[in-house]
Amino acid sequence: MPTEIKENYLKALFHLGQKCEKISVSDLGKELGVSKPTASDMAKKLDAKGWVHYQKYKPLRLSDEGKKQAASIIRKHRLSEMFLSQIMGFGWEAVHEMAEELEHIKSETFFDRMDELLGFPTTDPHGSPIPDKQGCFKDSNYSLLSATSKGEEVTIKALINSSSEFIVFLNNKKIKLGTVLKVLSKEPFDQSILVSYNGKKITLSQSVCNRLLVE
Amino acid sequence: MPTEIKENYLKALFHLGQKCEKISVSDLGKELGVSKPTASDMAKKLDAKGWVHYQKYKPLRLSDEGKKQAASIIRKHRLSEMFLSQIMGFGWEAVHEMAEELEHIKSETFFDRMDELLGFPTTDPHGSPIPDKQGCFKDSNYSLLSATSKGEEVTIKALINSSSEFIVFLNNKKIKLGTVLKVLSKEPFDQSILVSYNGKKITLSQSVCNRLLVE
DNA sequence: TCACAAAGTTAGACATATCTAACAAATAAA
DNA sequence: TTTATTTGTTAGATATGTCTAACTTTGTGA
Ligand SMILES: [Mn+2]
Ligand SMILES: [Mn+2]
Ligand SMILES: [Mn+2]
Ligand SMILES: [Mn+2]
């Protein structure tokens, strides 16, 4: 079983692997706020444990066992977020940080009970899928708001980034999962998008549109 | 803020200090399953942090700050136990082990919310008091079942030891907090006690009577 | 193709938490 | 009051996770 620190590395590797096929040591270091030698050393240790395929100067790759470990941690993370939100009444902007800690609890029954009390949810409060106990993700094919064209009407389904700063921004704009947006126009200069919803009409910057998944 | 490991030492020191005024390095080691040099070294480190008063060859003593830290961890532990039992539906024999992990969660709001959802409880599922946020324990003056005399009628108020093995024993005997026992007789040879409750009549060994607090 | 910047690795150090073996102090027994 | 036992400390080692400084590869741009 990985230590808490190794769990964070495995999770980071999994997330980086989603964004981009080739995971660099530098990116891993950046993601976790550690130096390159630290990330490199850890990659070797994870290889020794059989969770990573490490070769000098080559991109990092999670092994199948590593992916399973990562999925288990992500499952705990997302169940925790759902539990904090649905059972304990925390706002969706507050749950990620607490889940960063709860995901490391070893007790399996603790999370099994959460799952049960929540009625076996399939997504977390930010719309991300909760993998099953075997580590399988049911991948939804949502697209980025930034990839939609003028005239489309889309529903917000998930967030790419669950930082509380971003969610507080959405709260201020009264945007949540399920909000239906009409794309009125797209500014060619900075890729910002003018949308209407709930009778409001506002401009969303590219940085915002790149963080919203819609259908 | 103490590391998770130091938190366990502080909690152990607090508990040992309740049982007995003089805390020895050996007892600390035994409590945590570490060697004497390890316990001794850690005592020095805790002294350096201002949480313990350490003097060579003298009994260990928690400082006021150390007591406050310990109380905070015990508060988190007992709130967790109450939450696991009342909100998540776990049996009182299962909660201690999970609380050993949950007590190290840093987020204060997590525990504040537990407290609120539970209606600000004052005891945990084993009858032990939950200290307030200032670290004050409201000490109840219960006595050991082993200290009662023939003919007395007492109510079970708390357990000295919350190991799941002991609680499973109590479950099998249908003994819980609130159960009223009548002390029928005391065996002088082995200090076992014959009690009656709920129409049953059984003998409780000294080891059991030393673990039950009654009023 | 060669030079240079970016990315990655090695070397050496430090902090934390642990151990065993050996020694010293305190306490209990003779 | 010696001796013996228990208790506690030192010394030296190991494992984990981190750093900076220096060096080596890799890949790009001239
Ligand atoms: Mn999250
Ligand atoms: Mn984490
Ligand atoms: Mn407990
Ligand atoms: Mn603990």
SS (H, E, C) chain A: CCCHHHHHHHHHHHHHHHHCCCECHHHHHHHHCCCHHHHHHHHHHHHHCCCEECCCCCCEEECHHHHHHHHHHHHHHHHHHHHHHHCCCCCCCCHHHHHHHHCCCCCHHHHHHHHHHCCCCCECCCCCECCCCCCCCCCCCCEEHHHCCCCCEEEEEEECCCCHHHHHHHHHCCCCCCCEEEEEEECCCCCCEEEEECCEEEEECHHHHCCEEEC
Residues of chain A with a CB closer than 8 angstroms to some CB in chain B:
84, 87-90, 94, 97-98, 101-102, 105-107, 109-110, 113-114, 117
The pLDDT tens digits for A93-149 are 999 999 999 999 999 999 999 999 999 999 999 999 999 999 999 988 999 999 999
Residue A117's contacts (CB-CB under 8 Å, 6 or more residues apart) are: A83, A87, B88, B89
Per DSSP, helices labelled H in B34-122 are: 36-48, 64-86, 95-102, 108-117
The gap between the terminal CA atoms of chain A, to the nearest Å, is: 38
Q: Among A98, A108, A118, pick the best mutation site for testing chain B contact (most B Cβ within 10 A).
A: A98
User: Given this model, what pLDDT does residue B102 score?
Assistant: 98
Q: Which residues of chain B have pLDDT under 70?
A: none
Contacts of A109 in chain B (CB under 8 A): 90, 94, 98
pLDDT of residue B139: 84
Which residue of B7, B77, B83, B88 is the best one to mutate when testing the A interface, meaning the one whose CB has the most A CBs within 10 A? B88
Q: What is the pLDDT of residue A181?
A: 96
Quick check: A110 and B98 CB within 8 A?
A: yes
Question: Residue A103 C-alpha to ligand 2 middle, in angstroms?
Answer: 6
Chain C nucleotides reached by a protein CB under 7 Å: 7-12, 16-22, 25-26
CA A37 / C1′ C13 distance in Å: 14
pLDDT digits (tens, 9 = 90+) for A21-47: 899 999 999 999 999 999 999 999 999
Q: Which among A107, A113, A117 has CB closest to B101?
A: A107
The answer to whether some atom of strand D lies closer than 7 Å to the beta carbon of A20 is no
Decide: CB of B45 under 7 A of nucleic strand C: yes
Nearest residue (CA) to C1' of D6: B26
**Intra-chain end-to-end CA distance of chain B, in Å:** 38
* Other C-beta atoms lying within 10 Å of the C-beta of residue B178: 9
Res B7: pLDDT: 98
Q: Is the CB of residue B40 inside 7 Å of nucleic acid strand D? A: yes
Give the C-alpha separation, A14 to A6, whole Å.
12
* Chain A to chain B Cβ contacts (< 8 Å): 38
The per-residue pLDDT for range B43-97, each reduced to its tens digit, is: 999 999 999 999 999 999 999 999 999 999 999 999 999 999 999 999 999 999 9
